Structure 1
Amino acid sequence: MAVPNTQLADWLSRTGWSNGALARQVRTKAAELKHPHVTPDTSSVRRWLEGQAPRPPVPEILADLFSAHFSFRVTTYDLGFETESAADRALVYNRSFAATVEAVADLGRSDVDRRKFLAGSTFAAAAGAGPAFDWLLGTMDQDPQPDRRVRLEDVSAVKNMFGAFQQMDIFQGGGSGRLALAAYMNEHVYPLLRRSYDEDVHQALAEAAAEQTYLLGWMAYDNGEHGTAQRYLIQSLRLAQESKNPALGAHVLAGMADQATLLGKPDEGLRLAQAGRQGLSRTPESAACLADLWALEGRALAKLEDKAAARHAVAESERAFARVAPGNEDEPEWARFIDPAYLNGEHAHTFQDIGDSAQAETYARLSIDHARAQRRARRGAMSQAALAVSHLQRRDLEAAHAAGVRTLNLTRQVQSSRAVEAVQNIKRQLTPFGRHPLVADFNERARDLLAA
């Protein structure tokens, strides 16, 4: 039995329109938009109020009608329509900034409410290619958007929150605090995008929103929610273009490349990383971001079994990072995590994938030392896992077991599906060693963690 749509009823009552008046306006608007098959009547409106969901494009037409009446944006979500259009819309890199604002706002609200259509959304294998191309075009030709007025102080308050949430992700994992960040964005950041501001504030606000929308995507990615993550990253890329900050857009493409490679699409990961480097060449570059893009290009190339190119990418990553000031002090805040603990860990996995266990061990140990000094459990866990696998590649089961146990202990300290997947990978790599007591011990230690 359908549940009455009280949200639609509330908005309709606030207009003073009758059911018939709303039906007539929908018909008129549909005709303007060349949807001749959309011909609702009074009975149609009654069924919508009783809980029947109208077929597209009716929800969007209704949202436009209510928005025009109230002189502010009313979304399909506000009207109580839980269709898949919000999740699908977040996969689109829209040239309209207003449409981007609505897409990311709908996505954030759906994320906090854990709507089934979003929680169950999947990673779309080729969805990043179009946005990457559109972003590159956008960095070459960006017309200023006339808009309204918000204070720079509002933007500063948003940017000040970014560091706190990024630290939460780095030290506690993407599963810790992501919904709190989503709620903060819904209540304090996305509403600002609908208000008025001058052009300088417009760019600064778009940049701040892009940074935090990226962080939402990264946290979802780390928590294994890849469909949600992809949608946040695509919308972050569009916001980054609006901010006219190519380095930030390149950073978002790095995240998209990382995700694509992790999900078994290294060819797309390679294209996204290369698009990021190309975009970065049009700006006073962030050396840390360039180092990250080269590192992720190396990860993709290793998966594609291009060993020489993967080694070259690692060398270029190290060359770029050599230009970074100590402590990343000259880098934007979003680039602060790109440091020796992170980069050496990525390089360890690259060499592991091309079968160079000695180099993999060297880089893994460098990453582990830096991660331990910073108390970064997630990065430490992933690098300990790389160390364990490098030992297994050389048939050193005892050393691998010790590194595997350290991986388990660190993984228990964070909420990160990537760290858990690293444990699962060790378990898989131990399979050829059969029923050896050390294998049985590791599997027993890992049982509770993997079950959870």
Structure 2
Amino acid sequence: MGRSKQPNTALAVVVNDSGLSATEIARRLNDVAASVGLERASFDHTSVARWLRGEHPRPRTVELLAVVLSEAAGRSITPADVGMGGATVRTDAGLVFDQSLEGSLATIADLIGGDIRSQRFLSAAAFLPSAFTTPVLRWITAPPARTPHSLVGIGEARAVRKVARTFRDLDNKFGGGYARSTVVHYLHSEVVPLLRSARWREATGQELFSASAELMLLVGWMSFDTAQHSLAQRYLIQALRLAQEAGDTKLGAEVLNAMSCVTARLGHPAEAVDLARAARRSAIEASLPTLVSESLALEAHGHALGDDSASCAASLLGAEQALDRANLVDSPEWLRYFDTRYLAAKASRALLDAGDARSAAAAAAYSLQMRGGYARGRAFNLTLLAHANAALGEVEQACHIGSMALNAGRTMHSARTRADLAALVNALKPYESKAAVRGLMRTISASVNAGPAVPALPADRSPTQTLGSSAQ
């Protein structure tokens, strides 16, 4: 490692903006390094002092330093921003909502390539609600999508749709971690080259963009389900950009709904409400009441987390009224999961967080009448019901339903499933003196430590193999 002749003023400015001391930066850097497998990292305040004087650490350290400073500053910090632009991975990969098609496709290629090569690094980056602001604004204010011209056939677009449908089914059955790596490799090897090399003709290009956006949205959900929150954010931003290029207002609204859901679950209620309202605006524009209902349900959850029970109730009523007006048969295929039982599950979560455990239990019980094929959703809904039972003091019932939820989730590669079970354990802790509670806690702990009962698909598995797999 060499020394530059001048102090690193760029780093000094960012450090000042972060509000962190050199000791705090070093401590957080050690934590992030350990989270990505660099267990021998031993940075201290003198390390930071050397960098401020102009010494450059290894590129890997620069990448992680940018992650730490991004989280503290509340915005994306790149290696170039700290005067160390030689790092191999851009910390803002996928966060940019580029207005040019060429720039967008380059951004998507960088994100997917970085995911394949440096997944642990991108996973360690901070989730920043503010990173959604510019994409949403550009989605709302962009002019109508132009009609592209293409030589690519409609068959390619339909193939991408078919792959998205297959992996969506597997995601619902086994959780996001089961096939996420396989889908990312498919995007990298098949979809991105197709998008970058084709010249569009008539509606074919729009169909391919829309199908690709659908697949990108799925990877965003898979990333969120595996607790890779920064990656989820990046894929959702790029899914919105592709939906914009396709002129697909319906799918764009669905992406905004996903952004709201992720943001709420990560503890940012005000931003979740804003995103849900943006989604509702697009859903109304698309004349799709089912999407309007979903947006209102997500808005209700944001209000609940923000301790606004009156607004939560009003939004839930609006969601029910919108769904009453919907023709579910006419919903796009990717939205057909949303029906009265799914709305009940969303309502249950909002009501539980709003403190109305009795109504939450009733809604969760109704949600269990859901259609087949949604194994993870069933595990979620069972856990919700058990949690509501625990909040009502119905401990034996909570343990019984909790055991059912645990059994339903044994095959799941899903951090969300595990997080919901952990929340149930916390809800039952006041009753830890009861044998049934202690038994359930031990069983949950053993199951989580054992991991999923079904192994994940290998990263390089061909989608063609999967289409014919018995896992379906």
TM-score between the two structures when normalised by the length of structure 2 = 0.74
1:211 aligns with 2:209: no
Judge conservation of contact 1:111–1:179 (CA < 8 Å) in 2.
no
What is the distance in 1 between the residues matched to 2:366 and 2:145?
45
**In the alignment, what sits opposite 1:121?**
125
| 1:70-85 to 2 correspondences below 5 Å | 83-85=88-90
**Residues 103-112 or 408-417, more deviating:** 103-112
Shift of 1:447: 1.1
Shift of 1:329: 2.6
Judge conservation of contact 1:273–1:294 (CA < 8 Å) in 2.
yes
Judge conservation of contact 1:388–1:404 (CA < 8 Å) in 2.
yes
**In the alignment, what sits opposite 2:331?**
331
| 1:52-451 to 2 correspondences below 5 Å | 83-85=88-90, 87-138=91-142, 141-142=143-144, 144=146, 148-195=150-197, 196-283=199-286, 285-325=287-327, 328-370=328-370, 373-451=371-449
What is the distance in 2 between the residues matched to 1:221 and 1:303?
19
Judge conservation of contact 1:361–1:387 (CA < 8 Å) in 2.
yes
What is the distance in 2 between the residues matched to 1:149 and 1:201?
8
Judge conservation of contact 2:276–2:296 (CA < 8 Å) in 1.
yes
What is the distance in 2 between the residues matched to 1:346 and 1:115?
31
Judge conservation of contact 2:145–2:247 (CA < 8 Å) in 1.
no
Shift of 1:318: 1.5
Judge conservation of contact 1:129–1:268 (CA < 8 Å) in 2.
no
Judge conservation of contact 1:144–1:199 (CA < 8 Å) in 2.
no
C-alpha deviations, 1:405-439, integer Å up to 9, x for none?
Answer: 11111111221111111100011111222332122
| 1:34-45 to 2 correspondences below 5 Å | none
C-alpha deviations, 1:216-261, integer Å up to 9, x for none?
Answer: 1011111111111100000111111111111111100000000000
Superposition misfits of 4+ residues, deviation over 6 angstroms: none
What is the distance in 1 between the residues matched to 2:87 and 2:121?
8
The size of the alignment, in residue pairs, is: 370
What letter matches 1:365 in structure 2? A
What is the distance in 2 between the residues matched to 1:412 and 1:389?
18
What letter matches 2:302 in structure 1? A
Instruction: Give 5+ residue unaligned stretches, structure 1.
Output: 2-50, 57-80
What is the distance in 2 between the residues matched to 1:150 and 1:400?
55
Judge conservation of contact 2:379–2:406 (CA < 8 Å) in 1.
yes
**Residues 259-268 or 153-162, more deviating:** 153-162
Shift of 1:375: 4.7
Identity %: 30
Change (3 A) 1:402 1:197: same
**Residues 374-383 or 269-278, more deviating:** 374-383
What is the distance in 2 between the residues matched to 1:112 and 1:243?
26
What is the distance in 1 between the residues matched to 2:167 and 2:232?
16
Change (3 A) 1:406 1:114: farther
Judge conservation of contact 2:264–2:302 (CA < 8 Å) in 1.
yes
Change (3 A) 1:184 1:399: same
C-alpha deviations, 1:336-393, integer Å up to 9, x for none?
Answer: 22223422111111111112122111110111121xx515221111111111121122
**In the alignment, what sits opposite 1:21?**
none
Judge conservation of contact 1:148–1:197 (CA < 8 Å) in 2.
yes
Shift of 1:282: 2.2
What is the distance in 1 between the residues matched to 2:353 and 2:164?
34
Shift of 1:296: 0.6
Change (3 A) 1:375 1:142: closer
What is the distance in 2 between the residues matched to 1:336 and 1:107?
29
Judge conservation of contact 2:150–2:204 (CA < 8 Å) in 1.
no
What letter matches 2:334 in structure 1? W
Change (3 A) 1:329 1:132: same
What letter matches 2:381 in structure 1? S
Higher Cα radius of gyration: 1
Judge conservation of contact 2:123–2:229 (CA < 8 Å) in 1.
no
Change (3 A) 1:227 1:356: same
What is the distance in 2 between the residues matched to 1:422 and 1:52?
37
Change (3 A) 1:143 1:392: closer
What is the distance in 1 between the residues matched to 2:280 and 2:136?
11
What is the distance in 1 between the residues matched to 2:202 and 2:104?
17
The 3-state SS of whatever aligns with 1:281 is helix
Judge conservation of contact 1:292–1:343 (CA < 8 Å) in 2.
yes
Judge conservation of contact 2:284–2:292 (CA < 8 Å) in 1.
no
What is the distance in 2 between the residues matched to 1:413 and 1:367?
21
What is the distance in 1 between the residues matched to 2:429 and 2:354?
20
RMSD value, Cα: 2.2
Judge conservation of contact 1:241–1:249 (CA < 8 Å) in 2.
yes
Shift of 1:304: 0.8
What letter matches 2:169 in structure 1? Q
What letter matches 2:210 in structure 1? E
Judge conservation of contact 1:307–1:354 (CA < 8 Å) in 2.
yes
Asked which structure has the greater RCO (Cα within 8 Å, sep 6+), the reply is 2
The 3-state SS of whatever aligns with 2:377 is helix
What is the distance in 1 between the residues matched to 2:401 and 2:291?
30
The 3-state SS of whatever aligns with 1:329 is helix
